[in-house]
Amino acid sequence: MNRPYASRQPKRPRIVVIGAGPTGLAAGLALAGQSQADWLVLEASARVGGLSGSLRDERGFVWDMGGHVFFSSWPGFMALLSGPGRATMVERRRRAKVFYSGHWVDFPFQSHFQTLPPALAAPLAQGLAQAPGATPGQSFAAWCAAVYGRPLAEAFFWPFNAKLWQTPLEGMSSLWVDRRVAPADGRADWGPNNHYFYPAQGGAGRPFVAMARALGDGLRLKAAVEAIDAGARTIHLADGQRLAWDGLISTMPLPRLLAMLRPAPPARALAAAARLKHNAMWLVGLGLAGPMPAEAAAWMYFPEPEFIFSRLTNMAAHGPANLPGADARRWRAYLAEVPAPGGSADQPAGLVQAVREGLIRAGLAQPGERPVSVFTRLLPVAYPAPTLGREDDLRLLHDFLEGLGVFSRGRLGGWLYEIGNMDHAARMGQEAVGRLLGAAGEPLWDEQWALLKQSM
């Protein structure tokens, strides 16, 4: 029986979920399907989806909150997204490219650089052939050169990742690479997203809107959390309300959660949270007249510093419904991801113009073209960085929080980038509910920590 928080009966545990992104919504659906506890999902904004949401602007262009597509090795994820009353999903084959030295190269770059002119490809091939291979404990910077050779590291891996992560690569761990960085084995189908799904309507956020609808009055929007009293087990909302809880699942960025706790966490926990690094991300969407050019892939990577963005998503390639009137002959749209240092707040001067100039340089727009629609959005915390020493700090923080009955999960709650995709996030939400209701463990979370322990 579905018993949201508001219908609490005596002696029933009260579970509160903070955040209505993939983690929080999946947790909410798991709670809606049980009868052991009362529950409530809180979302600070007026929209659901979090970093996986979407919106349609006044001109009719759909913009995702990043370059999102759907894929998973976990069967439960697609069932969660496309069950009765949920979104219609369309399967597509990955078409991704890297723009390097004026040439388009199929992704992953390390498997396809041979298509470059010989003068560019030869030193990359020679460096790859002479690469000594990785050794345990290397920084990410050293790992790139050891696995792919210094020429490939200099051409792609170092500049692209320095741009993306906005933190020195020498200070980043290499423990996360197995699930995230392709080997140079020539396989065009590497990775679980070589085929992917995308909603037929409404952008990447559409499935989460449908999931939210199924929660009914168990979801409360515009409910911003200001403080969490771990001693009294109450949540203080911005509107003055106080809510009691017995178990708490938080999906907000982990350092923010520590800062909200009352009484203040011990100094060593605060110091650990302060050592965690992340980037921010400016999203810039440009809607243009005219069809997309043939060279425009579904998503495109840009390692070179003259491009302000690290990645472009071709919204039209995911489906015409992302365009006004679903008319791909008349319109096209590009979503640029522009990384910024963590803590960034002010929009860089000339941001939109720099993105437009990058499109022109890559041949995706003409010098005389003007966008008919412009979208900008700052994601203050976008990628949690896998820095050296991160594992010890995270173990301390999660042990401390779980001792309080607080489970910090999801891409930003867990702070484990290697399980930071949408499917991972949703699974963490479901499995955290199981743990709060008496399950022995959380399979995905426990597996990742076991892998980290083996590698450390």
How many whole angstroms separate alpha carbon 411 and alpha carbon 119?
Answer: 41
How many whole angstroms separate alpha carbon 143 and alpha carbon 148?
Answer: 8
Query: Which stretch of DSSP H or E encloses residue 109?
Result: helix 109-112
CATH fold of 96-179 reads protoporphyrinogen ix oxidase, domain 3 (1.10.3110)
Residues 6 or more apart whose Cβ sits within 8 Å of residue 418 = 175, 176, 178, 179, 180, 386, 448
Evaluated on CA atoms 132, 133, 135, 137, the torsion sign reads: positive
Contact 398/416 with Cβ under 8 angstroms?
Answer: no
Q: Which residues partner with 188 through β-bridges?
A: none
CA atoms within 13 A on the CB side of 348: 18
pLDDT score recorded for residue 186: 59
Contact 411/51 with Cβ under 8 angstroms?
Answer: yes
pLDDT score recorded for residue 79: 87
Residues 6 or more apart whose Cβ sits within 8 Å of residue 293 = 363, 364
Backbone φ, ψ for residue 392 (5° rounding): -65, -40
Q: Is the peptide bond before 108 cis (omega within 30 degrees of 0)?
A: yes
Query: Domain coordinates of the chain in residue numbers?
Result: 5-51+205-275+386-455, 54-94+194-204+279-379, 96-179
How many whole angstroms separate alpha carbon 81 and alpha carbon 75?
Answer: 11
Query: How many residues does the structure list for the chain?
Result: 456
CATH of 54-94+194-204+279-379, one of 2.40.160.10, 3.20.20.150, 3.30.70.100, 3.90.660.10: 3.90.660.10
The CB density around residue 43, as the number of other CB atoms within 10 Å, is 26
CA atoms within 13 A on the CB side of 34: 20
Query: Which stretch of DSSP H or E encloses residue 79?
Result: helix 75-82
Residue type, 183: P
- The per-residue pLDDT for range 405-444, each reduced to its tens digit, is 999 999 999 999 999 999 999 999 999 999 999 999 999 9
How many whole angstroms separate alpha carbon 244 and alpha carbon 229?
Answer: 9
Write down the CATH superfamily of domain 5-51+205-275+386-455.
FAD/NAD(P)-binding domain (3.50.50.60)
The model's pTM is 0.94
* 80-101: burial string, b at 16+ Cβ within 10 Å, e else: bbbeeebbebeebebebbbbbe
Nearest to 5 by CA among 34, 40, 36, 42: 40
How many whole angstroms separate alpha carbon 292 and alpha carbon 303?
Answer: 22
Per-residue pLDDT of the chain (456 residues; tens, 9 = 90+): 244 544 444 568 999 999 999 999 999 999 999 999 999 999 999 999 999 999 999 999 999 999 999 999 898 998 888 777 788 999 999 899 999 999 999 999 999 999 999 999 999 999 999 999 999 899 999 999 999 999 999 999 999 999 999 999 999 999 999 766 877 765 666 667 778 999 999 999 999 999 999 999 999 999 999 999 999 999 999 999 999 999 999 999 999 999 999 999 999 999 999 999 999 999 999 999 999 998 889 999 999 999 999 999 999 999 999 999 999 999 999 999 999 999 989 999 999 999 999 999 999 999 999 999 999 999 999 999 999 999 999 999 999 999 999 999 999 999 999 999 999 999 999 999 999 999 999 999 999 999 998 876
CA atoms within 13 A on the CB side of 442: 26
How many whole angstroms separate alpha carbon 302 and alpha carbon 379?
Answer: 20
Domain 5-51+205-275+386-455 identical in fold to domain 96-179: no
Nearest to 375 by CA among 266, 268, 286, 245: 286
